[in-house]
A and B are shown apart, each in its own frame.
Chain A
Amino acid sequence: MLWLTWRQFRLQTQITLAALAALSIYLIIQGRGIHDFYDTQIVGCQGDACSNARILFQDKYQAPVALVGALLLGIPAIIGIFWGAPLIARELETGTQRLVWNQSVTRSHWLAVKLTLIALFSLAVTGLLSLLLSWAAQPFDKIFGSRFAAMTFDSRDVAPLGYAVFAFVLGTTIGLLIRRSLPAMALTLAIFAAVQIVMPTAIRPNLMSPITASEALTAESIERAHGFGFSSADGDGGGSTPMSLFGYTKPGAWVISSGRLPILKADGSAFTQADNKACFTGSPEKDFQCLAAKNLHFDLTYHPASRYWTFQWIETAIFLALALALAGLCFWRLPRTTA
């Protein structure tokens, strides 16, 4: 049975190993470059040299990091389409199941060996690439990326493992149910892509209940936002126009609130343009200190940075559980399939 699996999967294994080796070498070279640039030019930099070095750093490595990240998002889909969907469908389509299921090995045993071996191989491939990318891109993510951003979260650490196994078993199940390779491949791709879009946008934010806390408005928090003031949706700029913080980022955290955060006074009423005028001298530094002294705050809904690994494990567990459930469906359905 091991021999059969190896014989039927030999070409895929060899091609994958070759591609994996090439990509690993590329990642190691890029990773060394990224770490070297970071250690020599960004760690311990001072003044304008710091922000300028970051511009060069971003220009040089943004494209490779994004590209490999996108590839790591695509690999589970490829595994599901090319390894999962044809696994049973192709036997059924070409009629070879009549030969293979009439040997001394039972159908369930046959399926168990095939599923386990290829799932483990998928885990190994995705795990190695994810490990290398997470290491290589680590300084880059630290400076420019949010670890919770959809593309980053799904292509680093343990999350890709769950996706890979899920995609593989999903493809196998659809192949078993539809019994034809090409439609099964197309359907696997459609479902998996939908899952990949729905997960970060609709499901992940609600995996744990976000924290809503009021943050004090300080000079530092104004500088961390992209803007302070009002936009034309808030009013015409007259005295009663409420002021907001725009594009506020909290280091390492996943901010769920929208890009506009209304500023509130200590009693909870809106901080308006009229209140703001007193602080507006034209010198940003002095203005920020003046604003900070007014004891203002804003409400922020977010997931703190400390939850990153919890989220990674929850998501991996969800996809492994889904994969197990689908595998259970396969084991139930296979003995009842007409040969």
Chain B
Amino acid sequence: MIWLAWRQFRIQLLVTLAAIAALAIYLVFFGRGVHHFYDTQIAGCTGETCANAQEVFNDKYFNESMLIGAALLFLPALIGCFWGAPLIARELETGTHRLVWNQSVTRTRWLAVKLGFIALFSLAVTGLLSLLLSWAAQPIDKLFGSRFGPMTFDSRDIAPLGYAVFAFILGTTIGLLIRRTLPAMAVTLAIFIAVQIAMPTLIRPHLMSPITSTVAFTSDFLENKQIDGIGSSGTSGGSSGDTTPVGIFGYNKPGAWVLSSPFHALLKADGSAFTRVDMRSCMTGEQTRDGTCLASKNVHFNITYHPASRYWTFQWIETAIFLALALALAAVCFWRIPRGFS
């Protein structure tokens, strides 16, 4: 049975191994370049040198890391389309199931070996690439990326493993139900892409309940670029006028996943809105002085977020969800395959 699985999967396996080897070598070179640049020019830099070196670093490596990340997002879709969907559908379509299911091996055992063998191979391939990318891109993610960004989260660490196994079994199940290869591949691709869009936007934020906390405005916010802007805009209640509430735009909490909208209204100590007239006295145009002046007014704002410490919890939860879904779909296959099909 293992021999059969190997014979039928041999070309895919060899093609994949060649592609993986090429990609792995490329990633090792890429990673060494990234780490070398980071260690020699960014670690321990001071003042403006730092910002300038980061600019060069970004220019040199950022697009490449995004491209590899995109490839890793797409890899599970390929596995589902090209390994999953045809696995049973092609046997049914060409009628070869009549031969293969009338051997000494039962249908269930046949399915178990095929599913187990290819699922493990998918895990190995995705795991190796994810490991290499997570290592190679680590300095880039630290400086420019958010670990919770949808493209970053799904293409680093263990999340790709769950996606890969899920996509494979999804393809197999759809192939078994539709019984025709090409439509099964198209449906697998459509469903998997829908899942990949729905997960980070609709589901992931609610996997744990976010924390809402109060942040006090401190004098270093403006200088350290921890916020993108301060003031008001058209949507936050008009752009001028004394009673217009002012707020923080785009608060960056290092490593955390901020869920609230980028406008955070500033509140005074008693909870009432901090308005333009309150802010005006502090606005001289000189950053350090303005920051200190605003901080002395004792203002704060509320944010809703997932702290950085939850990153690995989220990774494990998401992987567990997709592995569980894969198991459930595999159960559907095992239930369906002994019934019917002549």
Contact = CB atoms under 8 A, between A and B. Distances in A.
Do A and B interact?
A: yes
Contacts, number: 126
Interface in A177-199: 181-183, 185-186, 189, 197
Interface in A21-70: 40-41, 45-49, 51-53, 55-56, 59, 63, 67
Given A233-B53, A259-B58, A59 B48 contact: no
Q: For the complex of A and B, list the 8 residue pairs with the smallest distance between their C-beta atoms, beginning with the closest.
A: A259-B59, A49-B239, A48-B231, A41-B234, A231-B53, A52-B233, A246-B55, A53-B233
Interface residues of B, number: 45
Given A41-B234, A231-B49, A82 B55 contact: no
B56 interface: yes
A183 B14 CA distance: 13
B211 interface: no
Contact of B56 (A45, A52, A82, A260): A260
B152 interface: no
B41 A231 contact: yes
B186 interface: yes
Contact of B67 (A46, A78, A197, A237): A197
Contacts of B234: 40-41, 45, 49, 53
Contact of B182 (A67, A86, A233): A86
Summarize B's interface: helix, strand, loop or mixed.
helix
B231 A247 contact: no
Contacts of A244: 52
A182 B49 contact: no
A227 B262 contact: no
B56 A231 contact: yes
A55 B240 contact: no
21 contacts: A41-B234, A49-B239, A49-B240, A51-B228, A52-B230, A52-B231, A52-B232, A53-B235, A63-B150, A181-B181, A186-B15, A189-B78, A227-B48, A232-B45, A232-B49, A233-B53, A237-B49, A244-B52, A246-B55, A258-B56, A258-B60
Nearest to B44: A232
Contact of A230 (B52, B201, B263): B52
B60 A259 contact: yes
Contacts of B60: 258-259
Interface string B295-334: 0000000000000000000000000000000000000000
Contacts of B48: 227-230
A91 to B, nearest CB: 13
Contacts of B45: 231-232
A181 B49 CA distance: 55
